[in-house]
Amino acid sequence: MDVIYPRCCGLDIHKKTVVACLMTSEAGQPPAQTTRTFSTMTADLVALADWLHAAGCTHVAMESTGVYWRPIYNILEGLFTLLVVNA
């Protein structure tokens, strides 16, 4: 399978937590997966953005269930290419 986005993240958004799965791929090596959980408080969402930025993440996909994705979108907007997808 060809790698389209070598550094991307999927977010599973809940009322009180956000689970982030960061996938990174280096040439000639299998993809690496790192999972972290953050609260939905602003300081933790900024920490999520900092973590993704430090890892060189370019694309973030998040589920569109309910309205819980909106604050996360607002904080990450402009920093990454964001995709709101059907859960």
Q: Of residues 82 and 27, which shows the higher confidence score?
A: 82
Q: Which domains can be identified in the chain, with CATH numbers?
A: 7-85 (3.30.420.40)
Burial class from Cβ neighbours inside 10 Å (0-12, 13-18, 19+) for residue 77 reads exposed
Q: What is the mean pLDDT of residues 22-42?
A: 92
Residue 21 has a pLDDT of: 97
One-letter amino acid at 11 equals L
Give pTM, 2 decimals.
0.90
Residue 66 has pLDDT above 70, yes or no: yes
| pLDDT tens per residue across span 45-62 | 999 999 999 999 999 999
Q: Which two tokens stand for residue 25?
A: 């791929």
Compute the distance between CA of residue 71 and CA of residue 31 in angstroms, rounded to an integer.
29
| 57: number of Cβ within 10 Å | 23
